[in-house]
Amino acid sequence: MKNLFFVLVIFQFSFSCFSQPITFSSGDTLRGTLSKERRCFDVTYYDLSISVNVNDHTISGCNSIHFSVQEDFSTIQIDLYQNLSIQKITDSENRLLSYSRKNNAVFIRFHTTQKKEGSSFIKIYYKGTPNRAIDPPWDGGFVWSLDSLNRSWISVTCEGVGASLWWPCKDHPSDEPDSMRMHFEVPQEFFCASNGKLLKVSSTIHQTKIYEWMVSYPINTYNVTLNIGHYIHFSDTYVRQDNTFLELDYYVLSYNFDKAKKHFEQVKPMIQCYEKLFGNYPYEKDGYALIEAPYWGMEHQSGIAYGNHFKNNLFGFDYIIVHESGHEWWGNNISVADHADLWIHEAFTTYGETLMLECLYNKETAENYLLGQTKYIKNREPIIGLYNVNYHYWKDSDMYYKGARMLHTLRNSIDNDSLWFALLLHLQEKFSSKQIGTEEMIACINNFTGFNYRPFFLQYLTKINLPILEYEILKKSSKHVHLKCRWVTEVSDFRLPLTIGSSGKKDNKFSPSDRFENFSFPVETDHPELEFNTNSFYITLKELNRKKRK
């Protein structure tokens, strides 16, 4: 018997909001707000030098901050955690600059007004004991660990809490330097791996080595990293069909070489899929790297932290490799201008895992993977955080998993995979090396698809409840099914185009609104029944006349 095919999904949840309010401090505001002392200058280049004392867990160093002047100013704000002491700050003429500190903000006063369209630099010399990460990567700070041979193994992770916990910078996501150089001085028995390309290794008279790394692209501050350990390096090359290539570098603990060499073979097919989906790897000159770390993982640009112990999941891939590599496109190439919009990083990257499986295998396998993530969705807090306070207080992972289901719903609403995949490539091109917000993302999607999806995004991102489709079957015949339906949501003007078809053919598109409307669909059976596909849309379905029909 041929059944009516209705592309919808039924999911019922109980919803509750967190009752404990979040209190924000003046420090949160100083960190999260783009104040006049921050708007007035744009960072163009960082030149960071740090010496790491492995024995007493201290650091000392200097950061040269180069900037262009956007507005006339005499005072700027730079960020550095207050537990790190400042020795001195100098200007481009090596004159001492005065400064004051409030929370983790440093207000630096210049001798003369810096004029718009000019450029200059300052140097900040500092030292101290940086915060230690208790539960990396979720809890930010330095990771002072030991490898399996009881040798020191050091790394850092600072998303959310900020890079200013270990180096002075303009610690706001809206401003990325055009490039960056890093010098790390470590005891001579260690290797130090970081972002970008290793330019030089120099020995000193102090029984130390200085590793000089260079990043040739814009990079957000939390992605800057260092990894100190007894590493061994090996490399590979990913060759595209057009004979262009990408250098692949791997840094693992010496005793994991054989295991890593086999396990990292999955990188090349992954990159092939991601480049097909999102465009070429964004950091060609810096190359792609995985660096073994003493914590689960982090999307450090061109130097991804990897700590998943060389394990694949049931679908045959290593989650950390695939997820953190996806961030090279979604999070690193396209970055958010305010931490509240972090869903742009995480939802697209999480859905990218599904798309990679579809690329490697088929859509059924991919949707099974996506459905398996449903148990992690809580629907208890909005996905978007609060702006201007460096928000990082989410209790759940809905920006990952609900965000991915939202994007899958969007894809099936568009109902044109050629258009959908063209949209993903368009987003990467339009926002490459840019910092954007939710509204810019929505506007681009609307313009590209020709449909107003703004209410759709507002419902999924700013509310906790799913859209409810209320429907009533009015009449069935051998030729048609007649029903009325409407969306029940917390935002006005909500529309979500759906598709209905006969015998699995999706050939009738309709767009319910927030008021009841009647729809009629042709069928090819004398006794049509509604059959709902639970893989395509993430909504709640409510049949109004279910009792009457029974």
Is a pLDDT exceeding 50 seen at residue 5? Answer: no
pLDDT tens sequence across 260-304: 999 999 999 999 999 999 999 999 999 999 999 999 999 999 999
Kindly state the helix (H) or strand (E) to which residue 202 belongs, with its residue range.
strand 197-203
Tokens read off for 151: 């040798």
Is a pLDDT exceeding 50 seen at residue 35? Answer: yes
Is a pLDDT exceeding 90 seen at residue 315? Answer: yes
Is a pLDDT exceeding 50 seen at residue 4? Answer: no
pLDDT tens sequence across 359-376: 999 999 999 999 999 999
Neighbours of 358 (CB within 10 A): 19
pLDDT level of residue 22 (50, 70, 90 thresholds): confident
Cα distance between residue 12 and residue 303, in whole Å: 41
Is a pLDDT exceeding 60 seen at residue 532? Answer: no
Look at residue 207 in the predicted model and tell me its pLDDT.
95
Cα distance between residue 191 and residue 500, in whole Å: 59
DSSP string, 243-278: S-EEEEEEEEEGGGHHHHHHHGGGHHHHHHHHHHHH
Say which range, 137-151, 362-376, 480-494, 516-530, has the weakest mean pLDDT: 516-530
Tokens read off for 264: 């990292």
Tokens 């505001």 sit on residue: 29
pLDDT level of residue 235 (50, 70, 90 thresholds): very high
pLDDT tens sequence across 349-360: 999 999 999 999
Neighbours of 509 (CB within 10 A): 13
AA identity, residue 449: T
> What is the SS3 assignment for 92?
coil
* Among 432, 413, 345, CA closest to 159: 345
* Among 457, 452, 363, 357, CA closest to 402: 457
Look at residue 263 in the predicted model and tell me its pLDDT.
98
AA identity, residue 25: S
pLDDT tens sequence across 207-233: 999 999 999 999 999 999 999 999 999
pLDDT level of residue 9 (50, 70, 90 thresholds): very low
Whole-model pTM over 0.75: yes
**Average pLDDT score over residue span 337-354:** 98
Do residues 523 and 479 make contact, with C-beta atoms less than 8 angstroms apart? yes
Look at residue 383 in the predicted model and tell me its pLDDT.
98
Tokens read off for 176: 């990325």
pLDDT level of residue 543 (50, 70, 90 thresholds): confident
Is a pLDDT exceeding 70 seen at residue 547? Answer: no
Looking at residue 511, what DSSP letter applies? -
* Among 33, 51, 181, 203, CA closest to 121: 181
pLDDT level of residue 506 (50, 70, 90 thresholds): low
Look at residue 293 in the predicted model and tell me its pLDDT.
98
Do residues 92 and 35 make contact, with C-beta atoms less than 8 angstroms apart? no
**Average pLDDT score over residue span 430-452:** 98
pLDDT level of residue 531 (50, 70, 90 thresholds): low
Do residues 430 and 444 make contact, with C-beta atoms less than 8 angstroms apart? yes
Kindly state the helix (H) or strand (E) to which residue 66 belongs, with its residue range.
strand 58-69
Residue predicted with more confidence, 322 or 11: 322
Kindly state the helix (H) or strand (E) to which residue 319 belongs, with its residue range.
helix 319-326
pLDDT level of residue 535 (50, 70, 90 thresholds): confident
Mean of all residue pLDDT scores within the chain: 92
Look at residue 473 in the predicted model and tell me its pLDDT.
83
Is a pLDDT exceeding 60 seen at residue 527? Answer: no
Cα distance between residue 478 and residue 122, in whole Å: 79
Look at residue 549 in the predicted model and tell me its pLDDT.
52
DSSP string, 3-47: -EEE-------------SPPPPPHHHHHHH---HHHHTEEEEEEE
**Average pLDDT score over residue span 32-55:** 98
Residue predicted with more confidence, 39 or 527: 39
* Among 98, 95, 99, 101, CA closest to 120: 95
Look at residue 480 in the predicted model and tell me its pLDDT.
79
Tokens read off for 450: 């020709």
**Average pLDDT score over residue span 156-181:** 97
Is a pLDDT exceeding 50 seen at residue 16? Answer: no
What whole-number percentage of the chain has pLDDT above 90? 85
DSSP string, 454-503: HHHHHHHHH-SSPPEEEEEEEEE-SSEEEEEEEEE-SSTT----EEEEET
Taking only Cα atoms into account, the Rg of the chain, rounded to an integer number of angstroms, comes to 26
Is a pLDDT exceeding 60 seen at residue 80? Answer: yes
pLDDT level of residue 474 (50, 70, 90 thresholds): confident
Looking at residue 505, what DSSP letter applies? -
Is a pLDDT exceeding 60 seen at residue 479? Answer: yes
